[in-house]
Amino acid sequence: MAVPAAVAKRAAGLRRKLEDANHRYYVLDDPAIPDAEYDALLRELEALEAEHQALASADSPTQRVGARPLQEFGEVRHALPMLSLGNAFSEQEVRDFVARIVAGTGDGDPVFSVEPKLDGLAISLRYERGQFVRGATRGDGASGEDVTANLRTIKAIPLRLRGEQLPAELEVRGEVYMPRAAFEKFNARAREHGEKPLANPRNGAAGSLRQLDPRITAKRPLAFFAYGLGAVEGWKLPPRHSQMLAGLREFGFPVAPEAGAANGADGLLEYYRAIGGRRDALPYDIDGVVYKLDRFDQQNAMGFVSRAPRWALAHKFPAQEQSTTVEAIDVQVGRTGAITPVARLAPVNVAGVVVTNATLHNADQIERLDVRVGDTVIVRRAGDVIPEVVRVVDDKRPARTVRFAMPATCPICGSRVAREEGEVVSRCTGGLFCPAQRAQALIHFASRRAMDIEGLGDRIVEDLVDLGLVRTVADLYRLDVADFVAMRRRADERDGTVPETVKAGKVASKWAENLVAAIDRSRNTTLERLLFALGIRDIGESSAKTLAKYFGALDPLVAADESALLEVPDVGPIVAGRIAGFFREPHNREVIAALRATGVHWPEGPPQRSAEGPLAGKTVVLTGALSELGRDEAGAQLAALGAKVAGSVSKKTSFVVAGEAAGSKLDKARQLGIEIWDEARLLEFLRSNLAP
DNA sequence: TGGCCTCGAGTTCA
DNA sequence: CTCGAGGCCA
């Protein structure tokens, strides 16, 4: 039965729309239509194809949903073998590599194409006259497994090439991977449904491709980046690798946006460091970067050694995941009483740093990981540097381990531990009765952003509290040199240590003199610092500043009731309650009176209820290292000009000041098209506006 | 009521 | 830096 022309036309139109949507989403990274609309179009096309058999075709977007399960994978011989790359872990190896290229090509400063090395699964895709006909895993390099049906389900892989002049034969090599966000989402769903989550994105990608049932693969969020070629027939290759990548993009393949060019060993190393610095901000896992000689004629001149090209190098990052064992699980008590479990680990080197502790965050996290003392665990340095336990290696769990339970009473003071309805954290209810909370409150009080008492670190504070020399923050101002010297002696006796300070009595008192002087200096402070230092719950630097400005002086703030506090910007019922509650407490009023009595003072003035200055109404975010000023100082100066200095970038941000090695905040600013200043511009602006 | 947008709190190691 | 939760706006 012939297909009516109008129906054929509609089907062709739908296919084009769906292909374009895929292309924009995966290749141009610029989604054009919402998912729901995509699904609607896809369903319409399916209906048409079901009704008119003659419309069906192998390269239709409807053919991605997953064919029948296979019995086993066929074997595919690669027309050109899939090579592996030489590895480098050190700077010297990279320099040697460049030196070999310079010697081999006679080019004193050859250009390299550089790209991130994705942590996924290498595959080869074969296109004949523009149609995707077969895809295979790398296997041993000479032949791999035929995973065509699974690859068809990956929307980032074109089923037919774009463009007018299509090569008779084209083999594209690249990496199938699972984007991190998709991995997280997939696992969250899996857990909800009580299914086994994937261990990591790499295993997720590899496991998904090796499913015999493509319908399972179709449900996995896989993506693809192209990075090279195999056999080619009927395409005139451009002279450079980078141009070839651009050509692949024209054909409809996604190429890693971080790909670029560099020259000289220093250029390569700079790229390595730049990508390394952004590693955790990238949407996918990478395990290094790849350098390839850009000119194909130079590649040919370099040739191969055994199975690896001499014109390319994989520069790997140091392993960032390691396994170690859990020696103990302790709990820490924070300033607000928050009880945080911490895993004490057998020391292990992760990405160049010896890790011995890793936070387990809270009861939920422990529950999810089920970490137990004696377990072997995989540790990773997440985010920037902070180690975290990724998972437990189940096979290595020793016999007779017990599930960790949050303590019912505070390990320091014995008070009840409570977890409030809907909250994630458990807290010690002891308040300032708890020595741990008292010590933390004092450490916070003395910290740089609060009263800035130099030299009064956590060790000293803990000793002061332990030995009962200090109960409230006001007590700090009553200490003299003799007190500190005595404290040090008693602490040493208690610990059985006899440090050098005792041998040289003079040194000991010098240390104490410095401390007393630092405490004395802190008497001269600002209302803003004092409010922050008091440690009222939910009052951080930002709220303290708002309150100080809004009230101008302490007494009106202390006297303010909840309804007056609600008038303050960014203060809602909860925070208003916390503030009023704090100042209602007689103990807190006494401490404030005592602070004043010992000479703690700050300038007071009239209430300032609207910002002024050249930057009034502007919101500024600082990121990266500012060499001239430092972040804090720059922030203070900007604030003095009326700007609001915020911690994270959003569309309300007026501009971002980016210093050296700026990270995700800079990326986000670029994404949102927010104005970006470098340090020079900031300094220039501050100078011309005469910041005080 | 829901969905941002912030801020606050906690955390590691050299 | 990241997560959780408070505040604010639609």
Q: What is the pLDDT of residue A139?
A: 79
pLDDT, greater one: A666 or A299:
A299
Question: CA A301, C1' B13: Å apart?
Answer: 47
Measured from the CB, is A349 under 7 Å from any atom of strand B?
no
- Summarize pLDDT for A115-174 with one digit per residue, the tens: 999 888 899 999 999 999 999 988 777 778 889 988 999 999 999 999 888 999 999 999
Question: CA A674, C1' C3: Å apart?
Answer: 25
Question: CA A389, C1' B9: Å apart?
Answer: 20
> Given pLDDT bands bounded at 50, 70 and 90, which one contains residue A252?
very high
pLDDT, greater one: A509 or A48:
A48
Q: What are the residue ranges of CATH 1.10.150.20 in chain A?
A: 431-521, 527-597
Q: What is the pLDDT of residue A131?
A: 93
CA distances from A447 to A442, A457, A525, A527, A564 (A): 8, 8, 13, 15, 30
Question: CA A500, C1' B11: Å apart?
Answer: 32
Chain C nucleotides with an atom closer than 7 Å to a protein C-beta: 1-8
> Given pLDDT bands bounded at 50, 70 and 90, which one contains residue A686?
confident
HSE of A536 in the Cβ direction (CA atoms, 13 Å)?
28
Q: Which of A21, A208, A14, A213 is CA-nearest to residue A121?
A: A208
Question: CA A603, C1' B11: Å apart?
Answer: 34
Chain B nucleotides with an atom closer than 7 Å to a protein C-beta: 4-14
Please give the CATH architecture assigned to the domain spanning A321-396.
Beta Barrel (2.40)
Q: Residue A65: helix, strand or coil by DSSP?
A: coil
Contacts of A577 (CB under 8 A, 6+ apart): A562
Measured from the CB, is A424 under 7 Å from any atom of strand C?
yes
Q: What is the pLDDT of residue A429?
A: 87
Q: What are the residue ranges of CATH 3.40.50.10190 in chain A?
A: 619-689
Contact A290, A256 (CB under 8 A): no
Average pLDDT rounded to a whole number, residues A290-312: 85
A621: the nucleotide nearest its CA (via C1') is: B6
Q: What are the residue ranges of CATH 3.30.470.30 in chain A?
A: 87-316
Contact A507, A500 (CB under 8 A): yes
Q: Which residues of A are catalytic?
A: 117
Q: What is the pLDDT of residue A662?
A: 67
Residue at the smallest CA–C1' distance to nucleotide C3: A361
Measured from the CB, is A356 under 7 Å from any atom of strand B?
yes
Helix (H) or strand (E) run with residue A496 in it: none
Q: What is the pLDDT of residue A65?
A: 66
End-to-end CA distance of chain A: 85
Q: Which residue has the tokens 């790229």?
A: A271
Contacts of A14 (CB under 8 A, 6+ apart): A41, A44, A45, A48
- Summarize pLDDT for A528-560 with one digit per residue, the tens: 999 999 999 889 888 898 899 899 999 999 999
Does residue A601 have a pLDDT over 80?
yes
CATH of domain A619-689: 3.40.50.10190
Does residue A57 have a pLDDT over 60?
yes
The C-alpha atoms of residue A657 and residue A258 are separated, in whole angstroms, by 23
Q: What is the pLDDT of residue A6?
A: 87
* pLDDT, chain A, mean: 84
Does residue A612 have a pLDDT over 70?
no
Measured from the CB, is A283 under 7 Å from any atom of strand C?
no
Question: Which fold does the domain A87-316 belong to in CATH?
Answer: D-amino Acid Aminotransferase; Chain A, domain 1 (3.30.470)
Measured from the CB, is A457 under 7 Å from any atom of strand B?
no
Helices (H), A598-644: 631-640
Does residue A204 have a pLDDT over 60?
yes
The C-alpha atoms of residue A342 and residue A332 are separated, in whole angstroms, by 7
A383: the nucleotide nearest its CA (via C1') is: C1
Q: What is the pLDDT of residue A509?
A: 75
- Summarize pLDDT for A488-508 with one digit per residue, the tens: 888 777 776 655 544 445 555
Q: What is the pLDDT of residue A145?
A: 86
Does residue A239 have a pLDDT over 90?
yes
Q: What are the residue ranges of CATH 2.40.50.140 in chain A?
A: 321-396
Does residue A644 have a pLDDT over 80?
no
- The distance between the two most distant Cα atoms of chain A, rounded to a whole number of Å, is 106
Domain A527-597 sits in which CATH superfamily? 5' to 3' exonuclease, C-terminal subdomain (1.10.150.20)
- Give the number of other Cβ atoms within 10 Å of residue A229's Cβ: 20
A568: the nucleotide nearest its CA (via C1') is: C7
Residue at the smallest CA–C1' distance to nucleotide B12: A386
CATH 1.10.287.610 is the classification of domain A5-64: yes
Average pLDDT rounded to a whole number, residues A246-267: 92
Measured from the CB, is A239 under 7 Å from any atom of strand C?
no
CATH 1.10.150.20 is the classification of domain A431-521: yes
